[in-house]
Structure 1
């Protein structure tokens, strides 16, 4: 009886009946499952058409992982660990449509899929479900990053997609992802994501503001001053930025006064010798 477990050991699989063929479902594959011997939380996946990659929540994503390991007509028992709970189910892959490998997809298909995930992420963000929103934005970024663009290429189109559109969408996704961590006060992740945005749009006010606040919270006041000053230059009436900028200037003033005091004492000490 063949067994398998995920790299994080949160999913354990025991094959009960071998499937056939060599293709397995992956993102965008439409599958139909028979789910048995399971708790109520998994019954919603039984005998319905599901699109791999569209399932919501930690349990839904776990089911996607389970399905992506299966061959057609395979029956397997899965144990899924969610938090401190172990959820067990017997799943049969009844049918699925193969949508091609991701490297075969056109830039247009990848971009459309990334937009779908972005829209899902935006809905979760508005509901303050930041973990789910971050997952969707990250997934969309990974899809866009899989579009091959030759470094030396000067072409304005990738397949039929303008490169400017790809850059704009990628920038927006990094910005959205940084907002998820900004709301959760995870400033060590906010900074690198905002810097990614600024590589695409050097004067992006939202990214500059979040970056400035992140630097301030990390007590890197010189960099905070630089970022927040740029925001005020672009948006002179930005009250939130004015507040943070005043605090940064106050902290720098204190630091400079402290340094002046240290230097004065060092100088006096050297004279006394």
Structure 2
């Protein structure tokens, strides 16, 4: 197969190089790119200037992948499958390389994770839960890539306090848990709320969400524990109070069933 042809591992991007560009580096996360898009099956002019890592929705992220395969001044035909097929000719006229992600210092990674968090919040406010979840998850990956010595953790890394980094991780995990809460994926709500508690053990929102998730999942003992925690911090939380009454009823019901079964077992033994 010609080296001028490339296909993504999932088969959703196909590329044919028309004109080989300059040799050297290719765009990476954070690179500001100038593009000329022609022969497109629909109007893609909004993508003439993009920053890798910032483009929203499935097609935008596939376009980012296209661009990261290119050298400056390269021209190539692409076919992209995202629900439907897009075809276009792409020329990378210029880009500003921002270094590879692993080369970024802690401050740059922290600020970028904050940026992803804010993008996620905007999407969440607009009802784009899936896109919000993508941004929160990306923020977590960036923040988690900041190297911290486990045996002898410092107070600061590249001018960013460990407390700030941990607080950002807690917020991102909490926000991601909120996305799954909206989708009623209770086991994932539990998973991500548990991660919040690593950095913020008394987080009220996470305590409430994990309590509801355990209740919905039928684990009433765990739900009872977390609703108690919520109500200790906020006794006036009506939703938690109402849910807690239901949970206590279910626990009482379970105890009564166990007692009844025990009595029947004892009765059967006495009859023999």
Normalising by the smaller structure, the TM-score range is: over 0.9
1:238 aligns with 2:237: yes
Q: 2:269 matched to which residue of 1?
A: 270
What is the CA–CA distance in structure 2 between the aligned matches of 1:30 and 1:176, rounded to whole Å? 28
Once residues 246 and 9 of structure 2 are traced to their aligned partners in structure 1, the CA distance between those partners, rounded to angstroms, is 45
User: What residue in structure 2 maps to residue 5 of structure 1?
Assistant: 7
RMSD of the TM alignment (CA)? 1.3
Aligned to 2:68: 68
Distance in 1 (alpha carbons) for counterparts of 2:120 and 2:45: 25
Q: CA deviation at 1:41?
A: 4.2
- State how far apart, in whole Å, the 2-side matches of 1:80 and 1:68 are: 14
SS at match of 2:259: helix
Check 1:188–1:154 CA distance in 2 against 1; reply closer, same or farther (3 A cut): closer
Asked if residue 184 in structure 1 is aligned to residue 183 in structure 2, the reply is yes
Structure 2: unaligned runs, 5 residues or longer = none
| Mapping 1:120-199, distance limit 5 Å | 120-199=119-198
Instruction: Compute the TM-score of the two structures, normalised by the length of structure 2.
Output: 0.95
Secondary structure of the residue that 1:26 maps to in structure 2?
coil
**Residue in 2 that maps onto 1:80:** 80
Give secondary structure in 1 for the equivalent of 2:87.
strand
User: What secondary structure is seen at the aligned counterpart in 2 of 1:93?
Assistant: strand
**TM-score if structure 1 supplies the norm length?**
0.95
Q: Tell me, what secondary structure is at the counterpart of 1:119? A: helix
Report the counterpart of residue 35 of structure 1 in structure 2: 37
| Residue from 15, 18, 21 that aligns with 2:20 | 18
Q: Gaps spanning 5+ residues in structure 1: where?
A: none
**2: CA distance, partners of 1:242 / 1:26:** 50
Residues matched between the structures, number: 270
